[in-house]
């Protein structure tokens, strides 16, 4: 019986809601593994990959940031955006990556701080990484 209720929500939708064995998230202080009976905590999340272990299977998602809260009864992830690996549109993420990199080059030339382009780049790289991890995993099967 999986031991933790996990809810992943964004402003747009409920991305995931089920009982799981473990969740590994990109915490702002490093990778964070949450098992049942973890002490309550609240942490910010960075763009990266989110792994959900459930009954011997591992589900991969891309997350672009947000917050994770461990409550006594469940784990809640309030995500800026989150997509399951199979939902990721690789060409869209690739286009976003290219656009962000071009903006960063232009901004650096003009001496402008490219924080927004940096953030966009990190989101696109998280999506591309997760899509690639899922592709490799599928090829191994």
- Interface residues with ligand ATP (CB under 6 A)? 12, 64, 81, 83, 87-89, 92-93, 96, 120, 123, 127
The CA–CA distances, whole Å, from 77 to 24, 61, 64, 68, 82 equal 11, 12, 12, 4, 10
Q: Which is nearer to ligand ATP, 69 or 94 (CB)?
A: 94
Tell me how far apart the alpha carbons of residues 30 and 24 are, in angstroms, rounded to a whole number: 10
Residue 10 C-beta: closest distance to ligand ATP, Å: 7
Q: Which is nearer to ligand ATP, 120 or 129 (CB)?
A: 120
CB atoms under 10 Å from CB of 39, counted, come to 6
Residue 102 C-beta: closest distance to ligand ATP, Å: 13
Q: Which is nearer to ligand ATP, 92 or 137 (CB)?
A: 92
Q: Which is nearer to ligand ATP, 21 or 83 (CB)?
A: 83
Residue 92 corresponds to which tokens in the numbers above? Answer: 């869209």
Beta bridge partners of 30: 27
Contact call for residues 52 and 23 (beta carbons, < 8 A): yes
Residue 140 C-beta: closest distance to ligand ATP, Å: 23
Tell me how far apart the alpha carbons of residues 37 and 106 are, in angstroms, rounded to a whole number: 49
Residue 83 C-beta: closest distance to ligand ATP, Å: 5
């Amino acid at each position: 019986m999986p031991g933790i209720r996990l809810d992943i929500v964004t402003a747009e939708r409920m991305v995931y809601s089920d009982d799981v064995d473990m969740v590994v998230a990109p915490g702002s202080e490093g990778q964070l593994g949450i098992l049942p009976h973890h002490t309550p905590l609240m942490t910010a999340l960075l763009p990266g990959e989110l792994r959900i272990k459930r009954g011997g299977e591992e589900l991969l998602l891309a997350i672009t940031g947000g917050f994770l809260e461990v409550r006594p009864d469940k784990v809640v992830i309030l995500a800026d955006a989150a997509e399951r690996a199979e939902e990721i549109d690789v060409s869209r993420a690739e286009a976003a990556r290219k656009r962000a990199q071009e903006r960063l080059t232009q901004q650096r030339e003009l001496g402008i701080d490219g924080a927004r382009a940096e953030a966009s780049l990190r989101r696109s790289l998280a999506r591309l990484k997760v899509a690639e991890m899922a592709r490799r995993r599928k090829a191994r099967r």
